[in-house]
Chain A
């Protein structure tokens, strides 16, 4: 894990939520995060967890949520990359990216990775959550609404989900998978939840129910193999 300086170069709105571009030498892999706070010590009492929404020439695009008071030029101190991110299994050919009740932004770097691996990818999300974000969607990415989920699930050989932790109890119903039934393909989920201590303290705020006891999103995740979670 590394510590570095950086700064905000640009901010914009994605469907009403702030995103930004950070110039820095660190780049979180898909699903990993960097901790960031202003160098001058002002701002929130907790650092922000920044997830990559894509690469940029001098750093990365920070997906929403992004601190609303940070403006271009703001000098930052950053640490990371932290946590367990997505890992595309070898030989995967058809990747379904599923953003449930959240921005699809954190899944976009995985689409890029899939294309590099010669795989196809489809993004399913609330289509209202795509406006400016669409401009940086790879042209090869098929985008559809959540209504297409059953068809895409039967097509995909890998499923990557981004969802708030509070959404986990509804996931089974959303995927149309009954209790005891297995998913038709391997699946990983980015469980989005506040991670105040970022793994320093085992504070438990980001605890997620796993099949073998509680897991912490900040250090065991935030990306989990879906088979390891209670859902």
Chain B
């Protein structure tokens, strides 16, 4: 029997993993500028069991309508993250959903065990790498199932296939990772990374439409830069939306106060 936990969100807006750090900034907002308070839940920066250093070849390159980013998802590992940020998670005005990255089901199980029972942690989002075998994806989700809701963050390129295979799993909802792409560097090398920016919206809308047909609740993301974009995502079938690089604009999270 599948142990599926319901996922309750305070609002339809979430941040995408990696876009607001490990914990919400708890400084009081200026009047009328509390964008953070509009988040339905806070998704953390990706966290692995052991520390991960930054990628040797870190890249950030712009193209028309977006940018390519490769960082290596550096993080100090779950133990260090908990030591430093669990108190801020507990004090957060919105629920917290740690985003976990792991290559093996055992790792996921060990991480989830450390997160269960933490104050204000209501779920986990599991980042599934590109080209993951559907069997391994199902195993990662199964080992994460327990007291917390599980969101499977699907690689853009194989989201449809994976969503189909996870229909009868413990997944409460699926979200979509930023797609990968390739650009020529100034020295002619081809560099790879995740793609962000408004140019991604049409492809993301199409994917949300398709994935939502699988019957799992879909959290839409990709290219959302305006309230109109977010509404279009919901029209395409998304139950909520994740905001990514728009949160790196000059106003930061406070842009949400006007949405």
A197 contact set on B, CB distance < 8 A? 19, 248
- Cβ of A229 to closest chain B Cβ, rounded Å: 14
Q: Is the CB of A79 within 8 A of B250?
A: yes
A202 contact set on B, CB distance < 8 A? 21-22, 45
**A225→B248 CA distance, assembly (Å):** 27
Interface-side segment among B60-68, B100-108, B115-123, B143-151: B60-68
Q: Is the CB of B71 within 8 A of A203?
A: yes
**A90→B119 CA distance, assembly (Å):** 48
**A3→B252 CA distance, assembly (Å):** 11
Q: Is the CB of A196 within 8 A of B69?
A: yes
- Residue-wise, chain B 40-69 has the 8 Å CB interface mask toward A (1 for contact) of 000001000000011000111010011101
A99 contact set on B, CB distance < 8 A? none
With an 8 A cutoff between CB atoms, is A155 at the interface? no
**A205→B59 CA distance, assembly (Å):** 7
Q: Is the CB of A203 within 8 A of B69?
A: yes
- Cβ of B20 to closest chain A Cβ, rounded Å: 6
B248 contact set on A, CB distance < 8 A? 46-47, 196-198, 200-201
**A197→B198 CA distance, assembly (Å):** 16
Q: How many A residues have CB within 8 A of the partner chain?
A: 25
Q: Is the CB of A200 within 8 A of B74?
A: no
**A35→B65 CA distance, assembly (Å):** 18
- Cβ of B257 to closest chain A Cβ, rounded Å: 12
| A201 touches which of B19, B66, B251 (Cβ 8 Å) | B19
Q: Is the CB of A207 within 8 A of B249?
A: no
Q: Is the CB of B54 within 8 A of A207?
A: yes
With an 8 A cutoff between CB atoms, is A78 at the interface? yes
**A214→B248 CA distance, assembly (Å):** 22
Q: Is the CB of B62 within 8 A of A44?
A: yes
**A37→B54 CA distance, assembly (Å):** 28
With an 8 A cutoff between CB atoms, is B95 at the interface? no
Q: How many B residues have CB within 8 A of the partner chain?
A: 35
- Cβ of B101 to closest chain A Cβ, rounded Å: 13
- Residue-wise, chain A 21-35 has the 8 Å CB interface mask toward B (1 for contact) of 000000000000001
**Nearest chain A residue, comparing its CB with the CB of B55:** A204
Could you tell me the dominant secondary structure of chain B's interface residues?
A: loop
Given the interface contacts A46-B62, A207-B74, does A3 sit within 8 Å of B250 by beta carbon? yes
Q: Is the CB of B197 within 8 A of A204?
A: no
Given the interface contacts A37-B250, A45-B245, A194-B60, does A201 sit within 8 Å of B67 by beta carbon? no
**A41→B19 CA distance, assembly (Å):** 19
With an 8 A cutoff between CB atoms, is A36 at the interface? yes
A46 contact set on B, CB distance < 8 A? 62, 67, 245, 248
With an 8 A cutoff between CB atoms, is B72 at the interface? yes
- Residue-wise, chain A 184-227 has the 8 Å CB interface mask toward B (1 for contact) of 00000000001011101111111100000010000000000000
**A203→B19 CA distance, assembly (Å):** 7
Q: Is the CB of A201 within 8 A of B249?
A: no
- Cβ of A134 to closest chain B Cβ, rounded Å: 26
**A35→B250 CA distance, assembly (Å):** 6
Q: Is the CB of B252 within 8 A of A200?
A: yes
Point out which of A77, A200, A206, A214 has the most chain B C-beta atoms below 10 A from its C-beta: A200
**A41→B250 CA distance, assembly (Å):** 10
Given the interface contacts A44-B62, A45-B66, A196-B60, does A204 sit within 8 Å of B249 by beta carbon? no
Q: Is the CB of B58 within 8 A of A205?
A: yes
Residues 88-139 of A at the B interface (beta carbon under 8 Å):
none
Q: Is the CB of B250 within 8 A of A77?
A: yes
Q: Is the CB of B20 within 8 A of A200?
A: yes
With an 8 A cutoff between CB atoms, is B73 at the interface? yes
Q: Is the CB of B62 within 8 A of A201?
A: no
Q: Is the CB of B62 within 8 A of A205?
A: no
**Nearest chain A residue, comparing its CB with the CB of B52:** A204
**A35→B198 CA distance, assembly (Å):** 19
In the complex, 25 of the A-B residue pairs with CB atoms within 8 angstroms, ordered by the A residue number, are A3-B250, A3-B251, A37-B249, A41-B225, A44-B67, A45-B62, A47-B250, A194-B60, A196-B248, A200-B19, A200-B247, A200-B252, A201-B18, A201-B20, A201-B247, A202-B22, A203-B18, A203-B45, A204-B73, A205-B58, A205-B60, A205-B69, A207-B54, A207-B71, A207-B74
5 A-B pairs with the lowest CB-CB distances in the bound complex, closest first: A45-B197, A194-B60, A207-B54, A204-B74, A204-B71
